[in-house]
Amino acid sequence: MALALPELLKNVFNFLAKDNVLYPTLLVSRLWSRCTGPILWGRIELIGEKEQEKFIKMIHINSRPIFRHSVQCLIITHHSYLSNEIIEKIVEVFPNIIHLDFERSLTDHSITKIAKKCDKLQFLDIGFGGDITGKSFCEIARSCNGLKHLGISGYRNHVTDSIVHDIARSHPNLQSIDIRSSSRLTDTAIYTLTDLCPNLRSLKLEYCDGINDIAIRKIAHCRYLEHLELYSIKALSDKSMCIIARSCPDIQYLNLQFCNITDKAVEEIALSCHNLKHLDLFGALHISDSSISKIAKMCPNIIYLDLGYTDLIFDRTLKTIAEYLHSLEYLGLKGCRRISQKIIDMLFPDLEIGGYYSLPLGR
């Protein structure tokens, strides 16, 4: 019977995995269970504390789960504490991990074990927390040879220019790096990244206050960028943002919250970045109706647009947005006091509106 062929079943089950409907197939037969198990075990994401504790208990009791070699992605975020013993057990039990997200859970000892044992690792996110120092980042640079994504955000005093240099030199094919809230970084780090990792697709630089405008301009060398976060980078100028927009037309995600840019930069984004899907201008106080209208007309794929506290946004702006942005799912309007609730209700009856409040003007 055709449906009994394992390869055919695996193809069908891989398709169903996208909708999370595979679990009942485990109970149909042994054959179906053997085909489904590796798919379900391929990605393990443990969000709640109870789920995490069950998982930790499981690997203590059974150090050789039947589908352990199928696990490629493991995400355990916001766990209060993962001991060195547990980390060692995880990297021993699951030798084929390529995607590891242990946000807020690790120590230098843990990172050393991961870097040395997980030789297939491509994605590592250890952002925001844990007792981690520069020693760990140097170990990652030396040992994780196939790394494509690295998240080391939140370590204000431990991520330095020299560490970024070691990482970039060891991983010239790096596609994504998250170094948000790294207050010790200077222009040197940006020069290093853009020179040694020109194929970057994603760059997150929020709260990197030691970087000046000339260095930011170097981001334009990463012509394949799709995701760029410059949240609260006060040094960013219109000129630099224009250069980046022209040089990186494939950008889809752009976060410019609290940046000191004006309509000139936003109009260049509209002219150059037609694939834009996510644009965050919250707190960009010098933006007006003119540039937002151009964004709406020239970037039709936008699904997320935040205009919070851009005070020169009017009802006519919303009419343009409603006319052109048919895929919009979220519109942030907090602090936009020149628009009326009536227009909002009429134009966007089903849209998620973020932070909107209207003044009691009787409009």
DSSP string, 311-360: TB--HHHHHHHHHH-TT--EEE-TT-TTS-HHHHHHH-TTSEEES----S
pLDDT at 359 over 50: no
Tell me the pLDDT of the chain averaged across its residues: 87
Short-list 338, 341, 360, CA closest to 349: 341
pLDDT at 358 over 60: no
Are 232 and 258 contacting, i.e. CB atoms less than 8 angstroms apart? yes
Mean pLDDT, to the nearest integer, of 15-29? 70
C-alpha torsion angle, residues 218, 220, 225, 228 (rounded to 10): 60
What is the CA angle 56-61-62, rounded to 5? 100
Q: How far apart are CA 82 and CA 111, in angstroms?
A: 12
Residue 22 Cα distances to 29, 72, 298, angstroms:
13, 18, 41
Q: How confident is the model at residue 68 (pLDDT cuts 50, 70, 90)?
A: confident
pLDDT number for residue 294: 98
pLDDT number for residue 231: 95
pLDDT at 48 over 80: no
What residues form DSSP beta bridges with 278?
Answer: 253, 304
% of the chain at pLDDT higher than 90: 53
Q: How far apart are CA 121 and CA 115, in angstroms?
A: 8
Q: Tens digits of per-residue pLDDT, 50-60?
A: 888 888 888 87
The residue that leads in pLDDT, 2 or 83, is 83
Q: What is the DSSP string of 111-124?
A: HHHHHHH-TT--EE
pLDDT number for residue 234: 92
Q: How far apart are CA 276 and CA 274, in angstroms?
A: 5
Are 125 and 99 contacting, i.e. CB atoms less than 8 angstroms apart? no
Both tokens of residue 169? 């030199």
Reported pTM: 0.87
Q: How far apart are CA 153 and CA 275, in angstroms?
A: 27
Q: Tens digits of per-residue pLDDT, 78-137?
A: 666 677 888 888 888 888 999 988 866 678 888 888 888 888 999 999 887 667 888 888
| Least confident stretch, 24-38, 196-210, 249-263, 308-322 | 24-38
pLDDT number for residue 362: 34
pLDDT at 12 over 90: no
Mean pLDDT, to the nearest integer, of 27-34? 78
% of the chain at pLDDT higher than 70: 90
Residues 6+ apart with CB under 8 A from 350: none
How many CA atoms, within 13 angstroms, populate the side-chain half-sphere of residue 270?
15
Q: Tens digits of per-residue pLDDT, 143-184?
A: 888 999 999 998 878 899 999 999 999 999 999 999 999 989
pLDDT at 209 over 70: yes
